[in-house]
Structure 1
Amino acid sequence: MKLGKVEFCHFLQILALFLCLSGMNQAEFSRSRSKPYFQSGRTRTKRSWVWNQFFVLEEYMGTDPLYVGKLHSDVDKGDGSIKYILSGEGASSIFIIDENTGDIHATKRLDREEQAYYTLRAQALDRLTNKPVEPESEFIIKIQDINDNEPKFLDGPYTAGVPEMSPVGTSVVQVTATDADDPTYGNSARVVYSILQGQPYFSVEPKTGVIKTALPNMDREAKDQYLLVIQAKDMVGQNGGLSGTTSVTVTLTDVNDNPPRFPRRSYQYNVPESLPVASVVARIKAADADVGPNAEMEYKIVDGDGLGVFKISVDKDTQEGIITIQKELDFEAKTSYTLRIEAANMHVDPRFLSLGPFSDMTTLKIIVEDVDEPPVFTSRLYSMVVSEAAKVGTIIGTVAAHDPDASNSPVRYSIDRNTDLERYFNIDANSGVITTAKSLDRETNAVHNITVLAMESQNPAQIGRGYVAITILDINDNAPEFAMEYETTVCENAQPGQVIQKISAIDKDDPPNGHQFYFSLTTEAANNHNFTLQDNKGDVTPSLSGAVNLY
């Protein structure tokens, strides 16, 4: 198998390095050109270049130029007739050659991480004719790596999360360090990972940088965050290797591993009986060490004698149980209630059911406090009737009120005069008997709506109100009246019996079966034989009319 020019060059360089490291300081190697060199139309036998190893350690810090190697042609007899020329990358600026001896030196400090090798070309010229005595040869100066770069975590610092209670060996995050040294030469770029801070909770795989949990049952409620320091060291972690570090902040995320718990087995609240329906009686809260959805809960009243009187709901923001009134409270009817309340998680993790029920119970006792209430009437509305013919002092009816409090204070009555401006009625302050105080007229006011006040004798500020509707019964105390004043004209040629006017009457009274009027001419008019009056009897319409006829 034939090797190409570049492959063969690399082979020679590697072999030279090996021999150099084995103690051969001036071993020489030759490489023949595959093509003949033509000059002046004649074919020359091919010549050979001879040179040392061309490997240069990076980061040379000496003051003198660094010796790289020696170029030599077998044509050179050492008489000074051959001149060596160097060209290509870095020629003259970085690399110089002694034109007489072929020795190559580096004049600047080289950095493999900036440039790993340089490609140059060498020529051997006849000093007198300046003609090539060898074909131009290309060779490579490779910069030999030293361990001058520490591993770096380009993506650090890291943050990661892992569920609490995770089993040992659960992967958390992978960290990666890079080393700018040559990965193909030695161990300068071979990195291993170790954990400097974070044991015994976490570990790191030396080769991959994968961080894993190292302790079972890590509890977020005990500690929710850990700061890890991870080291990456080259030279496979051996002494003399360079290292770099990064931090990893690991947060334990919550799982629902804690049931709700009431801080107390029982609670007691005092509530005034006057508290309106829908008012908040109490707020209770079961503690849950979890957070977020894992701490969400619902409350229920599961037992007790207040099931229909109170209800409980949850405040979504605070997770409190809010107890409110559904029915009015009455100290005189019931002085206390007992509720059995349950708090339960809404989102239960089946993995932790073995820890027990994710709910808790407590007892809530509500004491109803007595409030000094105003007197209460036996009826919200009293309906009474009285004749308009009733005499002053006639009894119409009686109202009754009592103090609902345990003290049962005596009650005194009065009429709210804003509802009886004309003072038609009186009430007995002690008995509640209502009587007439003035003559009544149904035609003026058929119904009187009055308000009766009942106040406690011991505390006049406590006033109850009762409402009375008094209907006035009609009597026939009004004479009929003609509906209007009549004025009638008649033509002189009117025929006898012709109706010339119809008349009607009204009555302010209101008998149950309606009015029935009877019409007749007065004594004076009866003597006038030119006219007659016809009475339409039996018609019981509100206004009956008679007919005046021409006789």
Structure 2
Amino acid sequence: MSVSEDKVSGEEVGRLKAKDPDQGENGLVSYRLTEGDGLGVFELTTDSQTREAVIKLKKMVDYETKRTYMLRIEGSNPHVDPRFIAWGPYRDEATVKIMVEDADEPPVFVAPSYSFEVEENAPAGTQVGRVHAKDTDVANNPVRYMIPRYTDVEQFFSINSEDGMITTTRPLDREAQPWHNISVSATEIGGHHQDTKVRVNIRVKDVNDNAPEFATNNEILMCETIMPGKVIETVSAVDKDEMAHRQHFTFSLAPEIAHNHNFSLKDNRDSTASIHVLRKGFSRLTQDVYFLPIEISDNGQPSLSSTNTLTVRVCSCDSKDTILSCNVEPYVLPAGLSTGALIAILACIVILLAIVVLFVALRRQKKEPLIVFEEEDIRENIITYDDEGGGEEDTEAFDIATLQNPDGANGFLPRKDIKPELQYPMRPGLGSAGGNSVDVDDFIKSRIAEADSDPTAPPYDSIQIYGYEGRGSVAGSLSSLESVTTESDLDYDYLQSWGPRFKRLADLYGTKDYPMNDMDDVEDS
């Protein structure tokens, strides 16, 4: 029989059965392993139903380690009649050869885990270390390596898929992340493409790339009455780099205040420094805060230094140097300026503000009437508009006054103190009602002819309105007052030729005698 190397402990490998001729197929038979090289790998049990010997795997087998096992199994009758013991033995043995079958297994890493180190700020492409896995199958397929992205989200590292060499993709910062724990996957090329993973721990080695700084940034509170030579503070420093027992800090005042007359610094040579007061007579009214720039250096390779500012605040204290207040008190007015004078100053300020507000309000009120007055101030101003409408080109294209006074177009302005027939010259081709008269129809035709021949005239679809009553009337202008105020010497006999419609007028003006009944009819009309 055979067993695959991928079977787990407890799985059945095979069965065999011994038969007692006296008891038949279902006779009781007990089985046991007597010898063989597989006693520690396999175990033997009996099936209660079929009375068969069941061979099971006790622990996993490895095809690459051992490919065959030999077992000797004994089957015996547990119930032997004493009368027939001498005829025995009542047992039998069988040799079982078990073949181990090769299974397609994933690659196996040489080490259960890997640990590497890489220097901080090393350039991209720096080699970190190599991992190695192999295919344990007989085929011994090549292995491909990769880093699962979920174990290196920011992709600090890359791996050569063929030889398993891990390199950096960018400089690493130990202060940001001192350890990087990633996984490397190995997959066989060919077969069932099974893979296996191994843990890789990468430690970032520290490099002195951070300058030291104050351990705390608290203010120093100092009494106004402090005596010279007293220590007001002992400062210490820290470094973000990896602290070592040999690391040491030195302190000194910045060069710009090295010779100040207020404070001094003493380096205690134990990575601390003491701040001393040089004088007395500090006052919050004169200066309540002092700033001390202090240079701190480490002993790294290379050595780094930084300037940190220490704040010293002057406070009010009692006789026992207990701090009472560190706030700046308001400046006390001189004794000569009384409370009444202060109130008078404030009153003047308020009055000035009120005057300014009143002045602004009056200016706003003045602007409103001016705007209304300007809107109501209608004057005969000439306003020019550039918009078009009614089919006209624009309001500047022609002078409408010419239409209201056709004689003005030719430079002739009529006079109102003489009769029309005396001041209008005869126009050839015009006048159907007399030699000196101008017919309205002829006038319109003349204007149409002028508009057709004038390139600057309005378009054809424009409406032209002429405020012209015509001239040549014997009666003169209708607006003349002489016809109603004085006796007219004009001859109105021509009214007889105007037809029945003008008979009443002809009767009234055609004779000097007016019958009373006719006058009544005129009044009635």
Bigger share in helix: 2
Structure index of larger Rg:
2
